[in-house]
Amino acid sequence: MTEPRPDLTIEEFRARIVLAGFPVPEERLAALHAAYGDLRAMTARLRRAYGYGDEPAHLFVPGAKP
């Protein structure tokens, strides 16, 4: 397992989980905290300034006739 990222302490993570209404057992909190850091790192790589023109040309268009 990877180490938790320092941008969110485990106490802050616990507070967010409680506010969101997720019932997380205390024994799993540390593992979820570490995974949350990894998830944030992965989603940060996805957020880029792509426009609609950057999408592939062959996309499904709902309701289009073949």
pLDDT at 1: 46
- CA 34, CA 1: separation in Å to the nearest integer? 8
- Across the chain, what does the average pLDDT equal? 81
CA pair distance 38, 42, nearest whole angstrom: 6
Helix (H/G/I), strand (E/B), else coil: 52: helix
Q: Return the pLDDT at 54.
A: 75
Task: Read off the pLDDT of residues 26-64 as tens digits, 9 standing for 90 and up.
Answer: 999 999 998 988 888 888 888 677 777 777 777 677 787
Under 8 Å between Cβ of 31 and 1 = yes
Residue 15 — pLDDT band, cuts 50, 70, 90? very high
Domain ranges of the chain: 10-47
Q: Burial level of 33, CB count in 10 A (0-12/13-18/19+)? A: buried
Question: Looking at the predicted structure, is the pLDDT value of residue 2 above 60?
Answer: no
Judge whether 59 and 26 are in contact, CB under 8 Å. Answer: no
